Amino acid sequence: MSAPIHIQPGETFTLNVGPQHPATHGVLRVKLEMDGEYIVHSETVLGYIHRMHELMGENRTYPQVLPNLSRMDYLGALGYTHGHVLAIERAAGIEVPERAEYIRAITVELNRIASHLFWFGAFVMDLGGFTPLMYAIEDREYILDILERVTGSRLTYCYYRFGGLYNDIDDEFVPATKALIPRMRESLKKYDALVTGNIILQKRLKDIGPLSKELCRKYGATGPVARGSGIDFDVRKNEPYSVYPEFDFDVPVYHECDSFARYKVRMDEMEQSLRIIEQGLEKLPDGPIMPEKKPKLIKPPAGDYYQAVETARGSFGIRIVSDGGKNAYRFKLRSPTYSNMHLFDEACEGMLIMDALALMGSLDLVIPEIDR
């Protein structure tokens, strides 16, 4: 149904979706040139929530930038701080104790599940089903409670430190996380029964919003968006970091290229994250959470450093150019949603607005992370 249509010039009108619109989940503005319900041309306009995190990264010392990274993506904040500390540790040559690495991996995966859960709810709400959001939030609350116990906050975590962690996990973290795993597996089954099998949902997602492999490559899409288009790329597998090589997990890849494939990728990823958490809890070693020898002042030697991590939304890269001082000379962030979003302009041409907004929902956009 989303085949391009031919229209006469002068018959279109401009529709401003956003910056305040329920479908954009934030302050993204999409200028749509419409012919009735069909989109002729689309233009995404950014910058409504730009906060200059990159400039702040150059003006402040390295530890001072720590909290900034979690303000980028309010749903999967731990993944971004993880990338930051890994980059600085690599640059400054700081050894990280194994226990800290395991706790990082477990908490990042918990955060990934929480992020995907919220996406799941919001996506189905975009499609008009409100109830799954409530179910997803209930499960997400449970995860946030666990994370709150160890990190002290619920959304904008600042838990990781250069070399380790802010504090060790408490006695209740392990049992609570162990209890979460069967609970989440039950929930995933429930979501499948309630949502995935629903015929209306399948009709709205299958073969709708095609993003070809070439398009994904062209715009540099990563994460579930690329994996839903048959690109088998996951930083955790392809450029392993931290303790991820120790874990046995699969990278779900679907070749259908439609919105449903992206939906399935994220649903499967939650199960894979559970597997990682399960193994991490089993292997969790004892020991310190901070290295014994750690420089008082973080001053990476002059050089160019890059670290990529797999966040809930895709490959997040952080590039630090150091001139040997207390501040970074250049602090560049590569946020996954920025690339993923720019697919939209090209992909949605000729689509109905309903399908286009379903496609936008399947990209899992978090606007503060695009604008930084």
Partner 1 sequence: MSLTLLNAIIAVVIAIGFAALNAAYLVWAERRGAGRIQRRPGPNVNGPLGLLQPLADGAKLMTKQLIIPGGADKALFMVAPVLAMAPAIMSFVTIPFSDVIVARSMDLGVLMIFAFASLGSMSILFAGWGSRNKYGVMASVRAVSQAISYEVPMLITVITIVMMTGSMNLHDLATSQAGGFWHWNIIPSLTSPLMPVSFLIFFICSLAETNRAPFDLGEAESELVAGFHTEYGSMGFGLFFMGEYANIVIGASLITILFLGGWGCPFGLFPSVFWFLLKIYLLIATFIWIRWTFPRTTIYGLLNLSWKILIPISLFNLLLTAGLLKVF
Tell me which of 231, 281, 284, 352 binds partner 1, using CB under 8 A: 352
By rule CB under 8 A, what string of x and - marks binding of each residue 100-139 to partner 1?
Answer: ------------------------xxxxxxxx--xx--x-
In sequence order, what are the residues at sequence separation of 6 or more whose Cβ sits closer than 8 angstroms to the Cβ of residue 309? 79, 82, 83, 86, 235, 241, 315, 316
Q: Candidates 19-27, 75-83, 96-104, 260-268 — which segment interacts with partner 1 by CB under 8 A?
A: 19-27
Report if residue 172 touches partner 1, rule: CB under 8 A. Answer: no
Nearer to partner 1, 176 or 352 (CB): 352
Q: Candidates 184-192, 211-219, 238-246, 348-356 — which segment interacts with partner 1 by CB under 8 A?
A: 348-356
Report if residue 192 touches partner 1, rule: CB under 8 A. Answer: no
Closest CA to 133 of 114, 144, 113, 118: 118
Report if residue 21 touches partner 1, rule: CB under 8 A. Answer: yes
Residue 212 backbone phi and psi in degrees, to 5: -70, 160
Q: How many helices (H) and strands (E) does the chain have?
A: 14, 8
Nearer to partner 1, 129 or 210 (CB): 129
Report if residue 346 touches partner 1, rule: CB under 8 A. Answer: no
Q: How many residues bind partner 1 (CB under 8 A)?
A: 32
Nearer to partner 1, 125 or 277 (CB): 125
For the stretch 137-158, what's the b/e string if a residue is b when 16 or more beta carbons lie within 10 angstroms of its beta carbon? bebbebbbebbeebbeeeebbb
CA distances from 113 to 8, 77, 178, 181 (A): 47, 12, 14, 11
Segment 196-215, which members bind partner 1 (CB under 8 A)?
198, 200-201, 203-204
By rule CB under 8 A, what string of x and - marks binding of each residue 22-51 to partner 1?
Answer: xx------------xx--------------
Q: How many residues does the chain have?
A: 372
Are the CB atoms for 72 and 53 separated by under 8 Å?
yes
Are the CB atoms for 189 and 271 separated by under 8 Å?
no
* Cα 366 to Cα 41: distance, rounded to the nearest angstrom: 23
Nearer to partner 1, 139 or 310 (CB): 139
Q: Which two tokens stand for residue 54?
A: 């990159």
Report if residue 1 touches partner 1, rule: CB under 8 A. Answer: yes
* Cα 263 to Cα 274: distance, rounded to the nearest angstrom: 17
CA distances from 130 to 183, 186, 264, 329 (A): 22, 20, 19, 47
CB of residue 196 vs partner 1: minimum separation in angstroms?
A: 11
CB of residue 3 vs partner 1: minimum separation in angstroms?
A: 12
DSSP state of 247: S
Binding interface with partner 1 (CB under 8 A): 1, 13, 15, 21-23, 36-37, 124-131, 134-135, 138, 194-195, 198, 200-201, 203-204, 352-355, 357, 361
